Structure 1
Amino acid sequence: MSESRVVAASPRRIAALALPALVVLAAEPLYVLVDTAVVGHLGRVPLAAVAIGGTVMTLIAWLGTVVAYGTTGRAARRFGAGDRAAAVAEGVQASWLALGVGLLVALAMQVVGDPLARSLAGGPGEVAEAAGRWLRIASLGAPGLLLAAAGNGWLRGIQDTRRPLLFVLGPNLLSAVLCPLLVYPLGLGLIGSAVANVVAQTIGGGLFAAALVAERVPLRPRPRLIHRQLVLSRDLLIRGVAFQASFLSATAVASRFGAATVGAHQITLQLWFFTALLLDALAIAAQALVGAALGAGDAPAARALARRFALLGLGCGVLFALLVVAGSGVVPSWFSTDAQVHAQARLAWPWFAVMLPLAGVVFALDGVLIGAGDVRYLRNLTVVAAVGGFLPAIWTAYVWDLGLGGIWAGLTLFVVLRLGGLLLRLRSGAWAVVGVVR
C-alpha cells in the first residue's frame, strides 16, 4: 500500500489534483466578473444592488467552502483505506447537511433579505430595494450552491478531478450566456442576473447529486455522521471567522488613514486574495493525498507528503513574490489613476512581496492538517495568531500612526505566527494519526 501511495503522490499526480481544483476555484469569481460587467451597463443603482447582494452570496459560498474542506479530508481517509463506498458515504451525509443548510438560507433570505439589504445599503432607498429583490431571488440557488460544494469535497476525496471540473464549468458557462440574454433581450433587467445565478447553481447541485445516486450507495441520512461533520465544520467555521475579523479590522484601520490609504489597501488585499486562491489549489491536493495516505495507515508517506507540499508552497510563493516585485511600478495603475493611491500602495508592496513565500508554506500546511483531520489545532492556532498577534499589531499601527505599512506589517506577523505554529505541529508528528475517521 505504501508503494502505491508514493506513486499516487508523484508530481504529476499532485498537478492532476491541483490544476483542476484551481479551475474550479476560479470559475465562480470569473463568473461574478461577467455578471458585474453585464449588470454594470444597466446603471449605477443595479450595479450597487448586485455589489450588496453579492456580498451576502459570497458569505454563503464561504459556508460551502467549509463543508467542502471538511468532506475532502474525511472522504480521503476512507478512500485511502480502500473503502470507496465509505468515502462516497461521507459525501452523502455532507450533501444532506449542505441541502439542509441551503434550504434554511433560502427561506431565511425571503424574510430577512430586505432588512439585510437596507442595513448594508445604509438605509432605505432605491439601491436597498433593488438589492433586497435581487437577494431574495438569488438566494434560491443556495441549496444547489452548497450541494455543489459538498460534491466537490467528496469527489476530491476519492481523487476524481474530472467530474467536478465539468459539473462546475458547464453551469457557469451556461449562466454566463444566460445572464446577458435575460437581462437585455428578454427585458428582465437586474432580476435576470439573479435568475441566471439560480439556474446555474441549481443545475450544478443537481449534477453533483446525480453523481452520488450513480455511485449506488445508501442515500438515507445518518444523524451521527452528520453530527461529526458538523463538529468538523464548526472548527473550520471558527477559523474562518478569525480570518474574516482580521481582514475586516485591517480595512477598518486603513479607512481611518484616509481614502487614498484604504484604496491602496483594497488593491493590495484583492491581489492577496487572488494569490491565496491560486495557492488554495495546492492545499486541496494536499488534503486529498495526505488524507488518503493516513487512511491507508502510511504515516511516513503522509509526513513525506507534508514536506513535499511545504516545499512546493514555498516555491510557488517565491514565484508570486518575484512577479509582485516586478509589477510594483505597474500593477497599482491598473486599478487606479490616483497618484496618492499609488504612493500608498508602495508602502504595502514590500510587505506583500515578503509575505508570499511564507504564505505559500502556510497554505500548503493548512491543507496537510485539514487532510489529516487536525482541524481543532488549526482553529486554535488561527484564533491565537489573530487575537494575540494580528489585531493588536494593526490597532497599534493606528495609534502610532504607522499607516498602511504598519497594517501590512501586522498581516505579515499574522502569517509568521501561523507558520511557526504549523512548523511546530509538523515536527511533533502528532497530526499524523493513521486509520479511518470515526
Structure 2
Amino acid sequence: MPALTRRSIIAQAWPIMIGQVTVPLVGVADTVVIGRTGDAAALAGVALGTTIVTFLFWSFGFLRMGMTGLTAQAQGARDRAEVEALLARGLMIGGAAGLALLALQALVIPLALLLFAGSDALDAQARAFMAMRLWGAPASLALYAISGWLLGLGRTRSALAVQLILNLVNIALDVWLVWGWHLGAAGVGLGTACAEWIALAAGLVIVVRVAGPGVIARLRDGWPRIVGRAALRRLVAVNADIMIRTIALLLLFGWFTNAGARLGATQLAANQLLMQFVAVAAFVLDGFCFTTEARVGQAIGAGDAATMRRAIRLTGEFALLSGIGFALITLLAGPALIDAMTPNPAIRSAAIAFLAYAALVPVIGMPAWLLDGVFIGATAGRALRNAGVLATIAYIATDLVLRRWGASGAWAALLAGYGWRAAALGVYLPGLFARVGAPLAPGARAT
C-alpha cells in the first residue's frame, strides 16, 4: 500500500467514493422509478421493504466490516495464507447465511411486517418487494465478504468494478421491469436480486485475479486451515460483537422508518425521498471511512501507532470538508431534486418542509462514520458493540421524548442519534491508542 499522504488518501478513497455513490443512486433510481408512477403506497412499500431487507442483510454486515479489518491486519503482518483463507471463510459464511434467509422467507416476511405500523395496502407492496428481493440473499451476503476483502487489501479500484457492475445492472433492470413490464414494487425487488447474482459472478473473477496465479490450488491445499475449528471460532468471536452493533443500528433506523409510518404513507414516502440525500452523503463519505479502516488495520497489524494517528487525522480532514459540502448541496439543490423524484404534491411538500434536517446529517453524522472506520479497522468489536447499543437506546429515548412534535421530533431524534453514537465511540478512543504498539496476530481483537 502506498505511503500515507493526502495524495495517497485521495487515490485510495476516490474509487470507493465513486462505487459507493452508485449505491444510494440505486435507491434514488428505485424511488424515481416507483415515484413517477404517482403511487404513494407503492413508494412507501418499497421504502418499508427496503428497510426490512436491509435489516436482515446488514445483520450479517460483519462479513464486510470484519473482513476489512482482519484482512488489513493480516496484510500488515504479511501473512498471505491467512489473507486468502479469510476470503474463503467469508464466502462460505455469506453463502450459507443467504440460503438460510431464502429458505425462511415464508416465516421472515410476515413476522417482519408485524413489527411495523403499516396499512394493508402498504404491507402488500412491501411483501411483493421482499418476496423477490430475498432471492438475491446468498449472492448479496457473499458480495459483502468480497467487498470487505478487497477494501482490506487497499484494492479499491477492484472493489469499484464490482460495485459498478452491481449497481448499474440493478438500475437498468429496475427501469426495465417496472416501466417496461409494469411489475411495480415486485419488479424493483427482482431487478436487485438478479443484479446481485451477476455481480457475484464478476466479483469471483476479480478476486481470483487479485489473489494471483495458483490461488485455487493454494486454497484447496489449505482447506484444513480454512475450515479448522480454531479459525472459524476466531472469526465468529471477532465478528459477533460487530453483528450485535449492526443489529442495534439497524433497529435505530428501523425505528425511524416506523416513526414515519405512524405519521402516514405520505410522510413515510417523504422521509424516503429525504433519506436518499442522506444515503448519497453517507456513502460518499464512506470513501474516507473505508480508507480509514484499511489504513488503521494495516497500522495495527504492523504495530505502528503513529501511522494510525496520522491516518485518522488525514481522513478526518477530508470527511469534514465533504460533510459540509454535502450539507450545502442538499439545501441548494434539494427542492429541485425532490420535484424530479415524484409528481405527488403532498409528498413534495412534506419532503421540502424537512429538507434542512436531512442537510444536517452529513455534518453531524461525520464523526460517527469516521470513528466507525477506526474501530472496524482495529476489529475493536466490544467498543463497536457497546457504542451501537448505547446509541440506539439513547436515540429511542430521545424519540419518545420528542414524539409530540411529530415529524420534526422524529428528525431531531435521528440527528441526536448520530451524536450519541460518536460520543460513545469517542470514550473508547484513548484506550485504543494506548493498546496499539505491538503487532496483533491475524484475527486478534483490539478490544
How does the TM-score come out when normalised to structure 1? 0.80
CA distance in 2, matches of 1:419, 1:390: 12
Read off the aligned partner of 1:384 and give its amino acid letter.
L
Residue 436 of structure 2 corresponds to which residue in structure 1? 432
| Residue 199 of structure 1: how far off its partner (Å) | 3.4
Residue 341 of structure 1 corresponds to which residue in structure 2? 350
1:67-97 per-residue CA deviation (whole Å, 9 max, x = no partner) reads: 1111000000111122233222211111111
Q: 2:67 aligns with which of 62, 65, 71?
A: 71
User: Is 2:69–2:378's contact at 8 Å kept on the other side of the alignment?
Assistant: yes
Residue 395 of structure 2 corresponds to which residue in structure 1? 390
143-152 or 206-215, which deviates more: 206-215
Stretches of structure 2 that go unaligned for 5 or more consecutive residues are: none
Q: 2:277 aligns with which of 271, 282, 287?
A: 271
Trace 1:118-137 onto structure 2 (pairs within 5 A): 128=124, 135-137=130-132
Residue 414 of structure 1 corresponds to which residue in structure 2? 417
Residue 144 of structure 1 corresponds to which residue in structure 2? 139
| Residue 225 of structure 1: how far off its partner (Å) | 2.5
1:177-235 per-residue CA deviation (whole Å, 9 max, x = no partner) reads: 455566787x6956766554443222222333344555313253344323333333332
Residue 314 of structure 2 corresponds to which residue in structure 1? 308
1:104-145 per-residue CA deviation (whole Å, 9 max, x = no partner) reads: 112222x337746875796888973x8656644542321111
Trace 1:181-196 onto structure 2 (pairs within 5 A): 189=183, 196=191
253-262 or 277-286, which deviates more: 253-262
1:267-296 per-residue CA deviation (whole Å, 9 max, x = no partner) reads: 544433332222222211111111011112
CA distance in 2, matches of 1:183, 1:257: 27
| Residue 259 of structure 1: how far off its partner (Å) | 7.6
CA distance in 1, matches of 2:178, 2:260: 37
Trace 1:231-380 onto structure 2 (pairs within 5 A): 231-253=237-259, 265-326=271-332, 337-338=345-346, 341=350, 344-345=353-354, 349=356, 353=359, 356-380=362-386
Q: 1:103 aligns with which of 94, 99, 104?
A: 99
| Residue 308 of structure 1: how far off its partner (Å) | 2.2
Pair 1:340–1:168, CA change in 2 (3 A): closer
| Residue 98 of structure 1: how far off its partner (Å) | 0.6
Read off the aligned partner of 2:374 and give its amino acid letter.
V
119-128 or 244-253, which deviates more: 119-128
Pair 1:169–1:412, CA change in 2 (3 A): closer
Q: Residue 440 of structure 2 aligns to a residue in which SS?
A: coil
How does the TM-score come out when normalised to structure 2? 0.79
Read off the aligned partner of 2:372 and give its amino acid letter.
D
User: Is 1:100–1:143's contact at 8 Å kept on the other side of the alignment?
Assistant: yes
User: Is 2:129–2:187's contact at 8 Å kept on the other side of the alignment?
Assistant: no
Q: CA RMSD in A?
A: 3.9
CA distance in 1, matches of 2:319, 2:400: 30
CA distance in 1, matches of 2:156, 2:338: 35
Residue 423 of structure 1 corresponds to which residue in structure 2? 426
Task: Name the % identity.
Answer: 28
| Residue 101 of structure 1: how far off its partner (Å) | 0.5
User: Is 2:48–2:257's contact at 8 Å kept on the other side of the alignment?
Assistant: no
Read off the aligned partner of 1:341 and give its amino acid letter.
A
Residue 167 of structure 1 corresponds to which residue in structure 2? 162
Read off the aligned partner of 1:361 and give its amino acid letter.
P
CA distance in 2, matches of 1:413, 1:177: 37
User: Is 2:59–2:247's contact at 8 Å kept on the other side of the alignment?
Assistant: no
